[in-house]
Chain A
Amino acid sequence: MSFGQAILVAVLAGAGTYLVMHRTLTRIILGLAMLGNAVNLLILTSGGTPGEAPVIGRTGEFTDPVPQALVLTAIVIGFGVLSFLLSMAYRSWTIDGNDEVEDDIADRRLADEPDEVVDHGEPT
């Protein structure tokens, strides 16, 4: 892994983090995609030095095929998750007219309520 690749991982992960911490679902999805890219790159590049594509018959030092297989799976699954989340954003929009992730109302209500007064009944 080179410093250049490390910097790219840092930028992708940082940008993804920033997007994920948004309230808009679309931005969160973009952020997740970006985080996915960062992690894929991380796995691939930390797997070893770059070399020839691992195809039998080619000459030269092969790159490690295992991280490649892992990342290939991850890319595909990432796509599945992304499409699912996008359809959720769409569904959310048809219900609320926006795709904003709202605060949990129950938690808000709890914060606004006064302390519960327990009725201990008649003294004994």
Chain B
Amino acid sequence: MITLLLAHLGSSLICLIPGRRSARWALPLAAVAPAVTFGWLVSQSSAVLHGHYPTTTITWVAELGLTISLRLDGLGLLMGLIVSGIGTLVLLYSTSYFGKRDDLGRLAGLLVGFAGAMLGIVWADGLLTLFVFWELTSITSFLLIGFEDRSATARSAAQRAFLVTGGGGLALLAGLILLGQAGDTTSISQLLADPPSGTVVTVALVLVLMGALTKSAQFPFHFWLPGAMAAPTPVSAYLHSATMVKAGLVVVARFAPVFAPVGPWRWLVVSAGLASLVIGGFRAMRQADAKLALAHGTVSQLGFMMVLLGLGTPATTYAGMAMLLAHALFKAALFLSVGVVDHSAGTRDMRRLRGLLRSLPVAAGMIIVASASMAAIPPTFGFVAKEKALDSLLDPGVGLVGWVALVGIVLGSVLTVAYTIRIAVGLLGNDAPGVPAADGRAAVVETPVGPSSLHRPSAGFLAAPVLLAALSVVFGLAADPVGHWLAEAAASIDPASASGSLHLWTGINTPLVLSSLIILGGWAVWWTTVAATRTMDAPYSLATRLYDHAYDALLAGARRLTVATQSGSLPFYVGVVLTTVAAAMATALIAGASQSITDVKWFNSALEAPLVALTALMALAVIAAKQRFTAAVLLGGSGYLLAIVYLLQGAPDLAITQFLVETLTIVVFLLALARLPRDFSPAPPWAPAWVRIGISVAVGVTVAAFALGASHARTAPSVGEDYIALSEPAAGGRNVVNVILVDFRGFDTLGEITVLAVAGAGVVNLVRSARRQQRRKQLADGVELEDRSGRPSEVWR
């Protein structure tokens, strides 16, 4: 199994290599990996159906229990066949659909990579394996939806899809981790075999559902899916029939038989599913673009399957599996057929298409057959599956929520029939010229497209949709063996559903009566709305508008926050940092002021008082100095005086160092200042003087208070006593400070020297580059720059 996934990855990378160069070979090449997978799955199917599930486990990080583990059970087999089968067909169809383009390599690579990631989801047995593949499909679908990257619509739709499903993915990750912690396992099959319980599990399941509902485009996250129509039609067909949106259903299907009774699971799933069923149905009634109408229909259908699989009883699970297969077949066929129509007629606008029944008989036939399956009209497989679904809901034995589900599904199915008829009739049955909308909204009826203005599709182009539409009928006619196969597959997620069976004709019973009522009701709804919906084009959906507003507000808010906090002024930042320092120290001092500081002398010696006064005066004079030179000399003066303070403190080494360094500092200052202007620049201050003085005083006072506090906070004897004791016997030196520097803490000194060397290198380079620049300037201007040294530059006069 891992080999097959790697094959997908490998062919994806190979297809991506040509980049923008034309690569027509890429699409057929990409179809190889899914085709091989399909063959392998067929060869494995009998073993899997008898309960022998192939597994693969690769240990990743053993200590964390991280493994890549795959397991092919019945659901994995069914979904694997759908993913790889439809994947192969879509890729082959794409070769005709796209013709000559120079980015087919990218398309093929992304599609096959996406197929591989989807196979990973349906086969995953490890919780984290599931998440990794889940995110992979989010990323690849983002790239696929945004494939037409020059279109703002496509980019925006891709981003919407990515943020919604990506956000859901994070919820899923949190849920899976919680489940793994609660069940003390990272294996899904073990988790389901020995399910944990408790509040944590309930929370975890709600999080997992969030992930599944976003991925499967369920209300209120349904809005990303119609937008994803910005992708090329083959991509839409694949995303909406076989993959992406089915990922959420797969997770729900796996977890529901065990976890459906827990907490709010059933109500959440049923309410989200029914809301999607109805909203999707209504919006599908109001689209002029056939592909968009189908997309809204997908939201609706997904809601239907979400209810079935989410209820988690053996009967609904079985019916849900049948619907998964039926939906994959008819939805892929419909999308691909619409692609054929679009390709041949140049439009998908149902207000413009005329007389397709005569000009594109094969495509029209496929649309009729697939629509029949979607509307559950016998003898299609869609009918068989929906019969089973209604039957399973008649007595689900889950209380009130089951009845709500039944009523909702019947009403929703009426809409399904209505919009299906509308799409089919809109595409095929229109011979009359377009009429303006009743409310006078501009009816966009441009040139109608009729038989004369289209070209015929090739046989290869039609092959994939024909095969899928044919299967919809064949499976319907052969309902019994298909039903048997599905029952064995369903047994892997719920052993009790092994007794399920499908029949085309079950006699006159409640489901059949309901089905007939649904079809009649749907026809009635369509008939009464036909005039109103003929020219309708639905406005922006409310959910999309809300999302876009939220997105815009987020960006604007982030910008305002940045503008408010990031003024770009360094002095302002420094002021904020220092104020924070003062505030933090003040807080710490107030909070920790348990013992009062007593026994502090005013001065340690008589000499200290004038010394302190003089040093402080010099320091304050630096502030007042108007000229750079004066300021530098004053700083040096205060440094020298500080050396005497050190000396009085009993630190002659420090005094010497301070003295030498201060001398060097003055020399360096003079070297630099010789080049710089004499006076300080009159740059505007960033804040009024009282603010700056306030901050300075606050910092000074808190630092001094901190120093006083710190000097009285010693609780243990200084390590210095050990150094003094060891200085002579261990290091053979008498000056303890020197011994510490060169011996006990020798490496610190090495580090210090390194810092100096680095700083020195920096100085040399900066000065040399400055010199070079000046020399260039000199050559260019012919001006003696030396004349300007030591004087204010012209800029500053």
Q: Write the residues of chain A forming the contact surface with B, with a CB cutoff of 8 angstroms.
A: 1-15, 17-24, 26-27, 30, 33-34, 37-38, 40-42, 44-57, 62-66, 68-69, 71-73, 75-84, 86-91, 93-101, 103-108, 110-111, 115-116, 118-124
Q: Contact between B672 and A81 (Cβ–Cβ < 8 Å)?
A: no
B686 in contact (CB, < 8 A): yes
List 12 extra interface pairs beyond A14-B697, A24-B683, A94-B773, CB under 8 A.
A2-B603, A12-B700, A15-B622, A17-B578, A22-B685, A56-B727, A69-B737, A91-B767, A93-B676, A94-B774, A110-B559, A118-B555
Query: Of B292, B661, B704, B737, which is within 8 A of A13 by CB?
Result: B704
Please indicate the chain A residues that have their CB under 8 angstroms from the CB of B612 in the complex. 4-5, 7-8
B40 in contact (CB, < 8 A): no
Q: Contact between B686 and A26 (Cβ–Cβ < 8 Å)?
A: no
Nearest first, the 10 closest Cβ-Cβ pairs linking A and B are A121-B153, A14-B700, A107-B568, A104-B568, A10-B704, A46-B711, A80-B759, A123-B540, A63-B650, A97-B795
Of the A-B pairs whose beta carbons lie under 8 Å apart in the complex, a sample of 22, sorted by A's number, is A1-B708, A4-B602, A8-B616, A13-B700, A22-B685, A30-B632, A33-B639, A33-B665, A44-B651, A44-B654, A54-B737, A56-B735, A66-B740, A73-B741, A77-B756, A80-B759, A84-B766, A86-B672, A110-B559, A120-B152, A124-B153, A124-B226
Q: Contact between B154 and A34 (Cβ–Cβ < 8 Å)?
A: no
Query: Of A6, A19, A99, which is within 8 A of B707 by CB?
Result: A6
A3 to B603, CA, bound (A): 6
Chain A-chain B contacts (Cβ-Cβ < 8 Å), number: 361
Q: Contact between B755 and A20 (Cβ–Cβ < 8 Å)?
A: no
Q: Contact between A80 and B755 (Cβ–Cβ < 8 Å)?
A: yes
Please indicate the chain A residues that have their CB under 8 angstroms from the CB of B695 in the complex. 17-18, 21
Please indicate the chain B residues that have their CB under 8 angstroms from the CB of A6 in the complex. 704-705, 707-708
Query: Of A5, A11, A95, A106, which is within 8 A of B608 by CB?
Result: A5
Q: Contact between A23 and B683 (Cβ–Cβ < 8 Å)?
A: yes
Interface centre among A49, A52, A73, A78 (most CB of B within 10 A): A73
Q: Contact between A98 and B555 (Cβ–Cβ < 8 Å)?
A: no
Q: Write the residues of chain B forming the contact surface with A, with a CB cutoff of 8 angstroms.
A: 151-157, 226-227, 229-230, 292, 539-541, 544, 548, 551-552, 555-556, 559, 562-563, 566-571, 574-575, 578, 600-604, 608-609, 612, 615-616, 619-620, 622-623, 628, 631-632, 635, 638-639, 642, 645-646, 648-654, 657-658, 661, 664-665, 668-669, 672-673, 675-677, 680-681, 683-687, 692-693, 695-697, 699-701, 703-708, 710-711, 714, 718-720, 723-724, 727-728, 734-737, 740-741, 745, 748-749, 752, 755-756, 758-760, 762-763, 766-767, 769-770, 773-774, 793-796
Q: Contact between B665 and A11 (Cβ–Cβ < 8 Å)?
A: no
Query: Of B551, B562, B623, B693, which is within 8 A of A19 by CB?
Result: B623
Q: Contact between A116 and B571 (Cβ–Cβ < 8 Å)?
A: no
A22 to B675, CA, bound (A): 20
